[in-house]
Amino acid sequence: MAAARRARAGEPRAGFGRPAAEPGPAVPQGLIRAARKSGQLNLSGRSLSEVPQHVWRINLDTPEEAHQNLSFGAADRWWEQTDLTKLILASNKLQCLSEDVKLLPALTVLDVHDNQLTSLPSALGQLENLQKLDVSHNKLKSIPEELVQLSHLKSLLLHHNELSCLPDGFGHLVNLEELDLSNNHLTDIPTSFALLINLVRLNLACNQLKNLPADISAMKSLRQLDCTKNYLETVPSKLATMASLEQLYLRKNKLRSLPEFPSCKLLKELHAGENQIEILNAENLKHLNSLSVLELRDNKIKSVPDEITLLQKLERLDLANNDISRLPYTLGTLPQLKFLALEGNPLRTIRRDLLQKGTQELLKYLRSKMQDDVTSPNEEPPVTAMTLPSESRINMHAITSLKLLEYSEKQAAVIPEEMFNAVRSNPVATVNFSKNQLNEVPPRIVELKDSVCDVNLGFNKISSISLELCMLHKLAHLDIRNNFLTSLPEEMEALTRLQIINLSFNRFKVFPSVLYRIVALETILLSNNQVGSIDPLQLQKMDKLGTLDLQNNDLLQVPPELGNCETLRTLLLEGNPFRTPRAAILAKGTAAVLEYLRSRIPA
């Protein structure tokens, strides 16, 4: 219809009689035909070094088949077909994007992550309908000023580039809700950031920031702020007035103290490990009524104030590797505390073997000491993990103290045998083998089956899940995003404790049926695949499922019965070719979508 409108309006490029540009061999004509109907075109992972011209002109040129077949059926009326709204060019070899991107003015989603782009075309600023732009994992050194004209943009992903500065007018992106600038070379933030009043998530991790502008506190909608791994020595006191903030990450900076948080009543997670904090005082803590995670490991904290007991919702407290010599015994009375890490402190009152017995035994001991305040000054020094010369590239501290086996970002085709040999009898809880070139799940992972609960195999080249992985009976979290998976084995049903699985950016064409039978699952992330349908009746049986992400798949319809999945708190369906629910309903959030679907169930 849009193409027809342009033709009637005399659009010179519409060209009824014009031959289409010859498609390159990398883009099958069938994909182009389907895209004209669905408004979506996925060209990811096709080794493209440039975007064929007929892709940019998809809504302008007469389709090739129009010249060959003049008797159109209902399905072939190309002049009624849809403008392209979603274009995915991820994981190719693109070094630049043409200014012809402006020929796709209806685009709402443009994804060019994981290419070799060194710049962006200024014509991007003309895509006035664009809502999501992903240019992460490229080689961008700057952003065109025109980008700030994208007034409808909600999600802008710029992480893993080479940016050293941002346009001053960045604050014009007033509808932005998600902004990821992590892993760049930024040394400061434009003061116009204060205008981003709808921003919910801001990631500034892994840059070179020495300070944050106080104006950042004007972001009244901000819930998540990540400043991990910068050079921050202080945090602006105004940050403490951000009433919507729920998660604050300040790890790996140069902070000597924490700010006070008088207004952060909703703050749930505060991560400030690996800094130089020496003092933790009552003022830092007393207003944090909602805090459930407090992570302060690897600092220089000498004591913990009694006011820590005001944090009645605290579930995780990590004080490992500080200079704490004694603890308030009242810590044992925190009602929700499930995890307490104290190793690597010169504690005088707690025996080393007690620390190894786990949180519940430790809390029980602290409670028993509230009546019987006895200290043991003759405590023996803590044991340090010896590192053998043959294990010099293995982080034995991570294995013994953090229960972490990590071999990530090495581009390795196999995990070295000595990694598994080093584990010996140490119980490893977390395995991170992400960002390598693995073609299969390392078979020796089965040796960790009695302890491992978190496995990350993301960003590899794994095409199938091995039976060894299905034997990790304590596994709670499996991240295997960005691989080549097309199916999951039925044997995964044995993973009865699995709560979170991330299968995004794989090659699934059908929803893996075994997931329906893993009843402990709380989160299924399956975005950016090619899933064509889901079974709502099976999903209803998953009574713990709270999050289901099916964004950017090939769902042609959403079954109304999905509305009966009452446990769902987050349902993400954007970027699929279905016509209903319409975008306006999706934008209202999960509750509104479920209510709409229920209203469509036949009586």
In this model, does residue 372 exceed pLDDT 80? no
CA dist 233 → 205, 230, 322 (Å): 15, 9, 19
pLDDT confidence of residue 385: 34
Mean of pLDDT values over 301-329: 91
How many residues are recorded in the chain?
A: 603
Does residue 67 carry a pLDDT above 80?
Answer: no
| C-beta separation of 344 from 301 below 8 A | no
Instruction: Give the lowest-confidence range in 75-84, 161-170, 558-567.
Output: 75-84
Q: Looking at residue 92, what is its pLDDT?
A: 95
- Report the C-alpha gap between 179 and 134 in whole angstroms: 10
Q: What are phi and psi of 339, to 5 degrees?
A: -140, 125
DSSP conformation class of 453: -
User: Can you give the residue range of the structural domain that contains 124?
Assistant: 28-63+79-162
pLDDT band of 77, cuts 50, 70, 90? low
Is residue 551 over pLDDT 70?
yes
pLDDT for position 21: 40
Inform me whether the pLDDT recorded for 395 exceeds 70.
Answer: yes
Query: Do 157 and 137 form a contact (C-beta atoms < 8 A)?
Result: no
Confidence band of 79 (pLDDT split at 50, 70, 90) = low
What is the rounded distance in angstroms from the CA atom of residue 490 to the CA atom of residue 521? Answer: 15
* Mean predicted confidence (pLDDT) in 241-257: 92
pLDDT of residue 602: 87
Structure tokens at 90: 């991820």
Residues 583, 573: Cα–Cα separation, whole Å: 10
**For residue 281, is it within any domain?**
no
Phi, psi dihedral angles at 225 (to 5 degrees): -130, 120
Cα separation values, 382 from 139, 146, 343, 379, 428, Å: 46, 58, 9, 9, 20
pLDDT exceeds 90 at position 114: yes
Residue 596 has pLDDT above 80, yes or no: yes
Considering the domain boundaries, does residue 245 fall inside one? no
pLDDT exceeds 60 at position 62 = yes
| Range 82-99 average pLDDT | 95
Whether residue 103 is contained in a domain is answered as: yes
What mean pLDDT, rounded, does the chain reach? 86
- Is the model's pLDDT at 566 over the cut of 60? yes
Which of 397, 400, 392, 398 is CA-nearest to residue 416?
392
Of all residues in the chain, the percent with pLDDT exceeding 70 is: 89
Which structure tokens are listed for 560? 């109304």
Bond into 346 cis (ω within 30) = no
Helix (H) or strand (E) segment spanning residue 583: helix 583-586
Q: In the structure, what pLDDT confidence band is assigned to residue 60 with cuts at 50, 70 and 90?
A: confident
What distance in Å separates the CA atoms of residue 216 and residue 239, rounded to the nearest whole number?
7
**Tokens (6 digits) for 21:** 């540009």
- 394 Cα distance to chain centroid: 27
How much of the chain, in percent, has pLDDT values that exceed 90?
64
Give mean pLDDT, residues 328-335.
89
Confidence check: pLDDT of 137 > 70 = yes
**pLDDT, average across residues 490-501:** 95
Average pLDDT over residues 57-70: 66
**How high is the pLDDT of residue 59?**
87
* pLDDT score for 434: 93
**pTM flag (> 0.85):** no
In a domain, 112, yes or no: yes
Please give the pLDDT value at position 76.
52
Distance of CA 45 to the CA centre of its chain: 20
Instruction: Using the predicted structure, report yes or no on whether residue 19 has a pLDDT greater than 70.
Output: no
**48-57, 227-236, 368-377, 480-489: least confident range:** 368-377
Q: What is the pLDDT of residue 64?
A: 59
Residue 54 resides in a domain? yes
d(C-alpha 313, C-alpha 554), whole Å: 41
Number of domains in the chain: 2
Domain CATH number, residue 564? 3.80.10.10
Identify which has the larger pLDDT, 317 or 258. Answer: 317
pLDDT tier at 61, thresholds 50, 70, 90: confident
Q: What is the pLDDT of residue 260?
A: 76
Q: What is the pLDDT of residues 374-391, one digit of tens each?
A: 333 333 333 333 333 333
The answer to whether residue 147 scores a pLDDT higher than 60 is: yes
State residue 2's pLDDT score: 46
Structure tokens at 94: 């693109």
Residue 531 has pLDDT above 90, yes or no: yes
Q: How far apart are CA 227 and CA 239, in angstroms?
A: 12
pLDDT at 138: 97
Of 119, 140, 162, which residue is a domain's last?
Answer: 162
Per-residue pLDDT, 26: 62
In a domain, 5, yes or no: no
Q: Which helix (H) or strand (E) holds 539?
A: helix 536-540
Q: How confident is the model at residue 561 (pLDDT cuts 50, 70, 90)?
A: very high
Question: Coil, strand, or helix at residue 180?
Answer: strand
Tell me, yes or no, whether 266 lies in a domain.
no
Please say which residue of 107, 139, 162 terminates a domain: 162
Last residue within a domain, chosen from 114, 144, 162: 162
What is the reported pLDDT for 121?
Answer: 97
Closest CA to 237 of 209, 210, 206, 258: 258
At a CB cut-off of 8 Å and minimum separation 6, what does 246 contact? 223, 224, 266, 267, 268, 269, 290
pLDDT at 587: 85
Output the pLDDT for position 68.
52
Is position 45 within any domain? Answer: yes
Sequence letter at residue 188? D
What pLDDT is attached to residue 588?
86
**pLDDT at position 236:** 86
